[in-house]
Structure 1
Amino acid sequence: MTIVVTLSLYIVRQFALAVFGMLLALSGLVAMFDFIELLRRSASLPEATFGIVAQIALLRLPYIAMQILPFAVLLGGILCFWRLTRSSELIVARAAGISAWEFLAAPTFCAFLFGVVATAGISPVSSVMLARAEAMENAYLRSGGGPLALNGGQLWLRQSDRLLNPQGVAIIHAYGVQLKGHQLSARDVSVFRLDGNDKLLARIEATKATLIPGAWELENARTIRPDQLPELPENRTLPTDLTVNRVQESFASPDTLSVWALPDFIALLDRSGFSSIRHRLHFQALLALPLLTATMALVSAGFSMRPARRGGVAKMIGSGVVAGFALFVVSKVAEEIGQSGALPVTLAAWAPAAAGLMLAVALLLHTEDG
């Protein structure tokens, strides 16, 4: 047992160093190309100085590392296990009666921990920095109005209507949405107030609406009820639990939200009538990341532990890289299908990693002869 523990610790150290080095190399390479692309976009914009572009690129670096992590585990694992096989260390261990499952348990668990740390620790930092990077990008590199630059300048919202009853809802339609500082305003606003059975109780037409903390301020609001004459225009307020930040976040990328904030925000989106598919899929993908990194570790082992004397090592390693990239492509295709609603969110997020895990286990069962 002592030999197995010592060997496992040695392999974990080699594996972690290889993965960490590959993560730094790949993240630096991708970040360099991202920086070059930002420089190209800022060439005709005097406000976007070199310092601002560099700051945006640095703020995006943790997000890039999160996306690269599964590849770093795959390529780092292939490098680590290939070196150990080439030096005959794994061959000697297996000849001594140590099963591949015994010395692979530790690096697989290490890869799983990489995923856990990335999901629980790096993801919140990445989301904050990415949100800041997108805000700077909207301010300096884009001519649009950011996430609130909607099609035709229109905005649809759905919120609870506390003035009627707990089951009541208010559907808001507005034109000319503008965000100035921390204030959201719109013109030509229509509010449809429904009861719990989706029966129309009243309609409010206002020339302008401004979102303030806890309420909408409606100017020249005229209330129209079924079978009644329209009321005279007046300024009034409509209670709401929406804020400017929440409206912005609902249109922003889910990557800008921390994994710890996503459950409450998903519940808010569902209450407000926004589609939460993207956010639920992103949340499930973050939860599945540890399984995906562990799967990549097993895939790398299955394709790189072939003894050099048998030949075909380069072909096996190339097949491992192709298999890893194929798993990534399948996960992205499943994500797109999940966003369309054709697949359940949980299945779209977890199925690729689970399928890859079964493939890796089958490959190791075929390879292991001890």
Structure 2
Amino acid sequence: MSRLGVVMIPPTLSLYIGRRFLLAVLGMQAGLTAIGALFDFLDLLRQASDKPHATFGRIVVMEILRVPWLGMQILPFAVLLGGIFAFWRLTRSSELVVARASGVSAWQFLAVPVVCAAMIGGVTTTVVSPLSAVMFARAETLYSMYLEIGSGPLSLAGGQLWLRQADPAAGPGGIAILHAHDVHLKGKALTTGRVTILQLDRHTSLHDRIEAATGTLQPGGWRLDQVSILKSDDATKTMTTMRFPTDLTVGRVQESFASPSALSFWALPRFITVLERSGFSPTRHELAFQSLLALPLLCATMALVAAGFSMRPARRGGAAKMLGAGLISGFALFMLSDVAAQFGKSGALPVIMAAWAPAAAGLMLALALLLHLEDG
């Protein structure tokens, strides 16, 4: 005991509690991720049932690439369930009762598990997120190639637009590949700098090449200015303006930006800056960035919630009800996070509030429970 009368928790006990908690969380994480991946795999198989090019092997690869992303979505709930399991076993075996009887408070007892949970969240944000982003981006590419056939490949990143679409002007089975630089959204109008369009026939031989100094996306087509048309069998033609038909819309361009899940924690700030400079809304990506920042706090909160609902001594009775209440509270917190995210994406809530409010609400609930348990 120290001079202040506070019992210091022995390092051996701290390591023991931390190891039990960490193993329970990692085991729960592995089990829940496997279950989630199985259901996701079955859904991909269902979507691939009428897609001849989406073979079983490609679906397997696609699912493997999505596993880290699934694990990140499940992590807070895995911390909750793993924590409940670990603390319940410590309580049932009377190890927690002995520690409390020796003068160790709940706050000292929980210090190591909370730090472990926060570290798991921090490692997920800074290390797992980049790996997950690379793999998820590849999975999305495979998904668009084999399960979204006919939607038209479209990518927009770094202020440049790439589009491939059917082009009857290049003959039966012809396609057009459009590359536009310096894409900006001003009000409801999409404007670009230099535009290059390659018109290819069904054998991918060049039919025409169109170069324009600027372009404006309008309903039903592009308006191109200062146009040069190089035909494969004729001299170059110049035009002041021309119209190139397309079914692309400004809304679809907005949606085509790289998914926040396909960008790592480290890449999101730069991408948000690009969006703001181009005039597009960065709300989805800002929300993803703030959610990753809040993940360590959310994991620590889940550990505290787990402790608050599972450290009740068995001799007092009602342990099953407390564990059930813990599970329900975890589900409610999980749903609150999803609802807040939807409000944040729609602009109804500030992004920071949408990302941090669920963790803050869970933290207040956990602290109230532990204060009641310790001092009530």
Q: TM-score, normalised by structure 1?
A: 0.77
Cα shift at 1:26 = 0.3
Does residue 341 of the first structure (1) align with residue 342 of the second (2)? Answer: no
SS of the residue corresponding to residue 48 of structure 1 reads coil
Quickly say closer, same or farther: Cα 1:282–1:158, change in 2 above 3 A: closer
Does residue 281 of the first structure (1) align with residue 299 of the second (2)? Answer: no
Alpha-carbon distance between aligned partners in 1 of 2:212 and 2:117, rounded to the nearest angstrom? 49
Cα shift at 1:184 = 3.1
The aligned amino acid for 2:196 is T
Give the 5 Å matches for 1:123-138.
Answer: 123-138=129-144
SS of the residue corresponding to residue 145 of structure 1 reads coil
Aligned with residue 178 of structure 2, among 178, 181, 184 = 184
1:14 maps to what in 2? 20
Query: Unaligned stretches of 5+ in structure 1?
Result: 150-154, 160-171, 224-231, 236-246
Quickly say closer, same or farther: Cα 1:72–1:275, change in 2 above 3 A: same
Superposed structure 1 runs of 4+ greater than 6 Å apart: 179-182, 191-194, 203-206
Taking only aligned residues, the RMSD between alpha carbons, in angstroms, comes to: 3.7
Aligned with residue 63 of structure 2, among 45, 57, 61 = 57
Alpha-carbon distance between aligned partners in 1 of 2:192 and 2:13, rounded to the nearest angstrom? 74
Give the 5 Å matches for 1:63-74.
Answer: 63-74=69-80
- Aligned positions, number: 319
SS of the residue corresponding to residue 347 of structure 1 reads helix
2:248 maps to what in 1? none
Does residue 254 of the first structure (1) align with residue 260 of the second (2)? Answer: yes
The aligned amino acid for 2:342 is E
Alpha-carbon distance between aligned partners in 2 of 1:126 and 1:317, rounded to the nearest angstrom? 32
Alpha-carbon distance between aligned partners in 1 of 2:107 and 2:352, rounded to the nearest angstrom? 29
Cα shift at 1:39 = 1.1
Quickly say closer, same or farther: Cα 1:217–1:125, change in 2 above 3 A: farther
Query: Unaligned stretches of 5+ in structure 2?
Result: 1-6, 167-174, 199-210, 216-223, 228-237, 242-252
Q: TM-score, normalised by structure 2?
A: 0.76
The aligned amino acid for 1:221 is D
Does residue 41 of the first structure (1) align with residue 35 of the second (2)? Answer: no
Cα shift at 1:143 = 2.4
Alpha-carbon distance between aligned partners in 2 of 1:85 and 1:193, rounded to the nearest angstrom? 59
Is 2:212–2:225's contact at 8 Å kept on the other side of the alignment?
Answer: no
Cα shift at 1:144 = 3.8
Is 1:73–1:111's contact at 8 Å kept on the other side of the alignment?
Answer: yes
Quickly say closer, same or farther: Cα 1:205–1:108, change in 2 above 3 A: closer
SS of the residue corresponding to residue 233 of structure 1 reads strand
1:317 maps to what in 2? 323
2:151 maps to what in 1? 145
Is 1:250–1:269's contact at 8 Å kept on the other side of the alignment?
Answer: no
1:221 maps to what in 2? 225
- The superposition leaves residues 113-162 of structure 1 with CA deviations (integer Å, 9 ceiling, x where unpaired) of 0000000000110011001001001101112436739xxxxx9x997xxx
Cα shift at 1:331 = 1.2
Instruction: Report sequence identity in percent.
Output: 58
Cα shift at 1:5 = 2.0
Is 1:210–1:218's contact at 8 Å kept on the other side of the alignment?
Answer: no
Alpha-carbon distance between aligned partners in 2 of 1:272 and 1:327, rounded to the nearest angstrom? 36
2:303 maps to what in 1? 297
Cα shift at 1:218 = 5.1
Alpha-carbon distance between aligned partners in 2 of 1:112 and 1:193, rounded to the nearest angstrom? 40
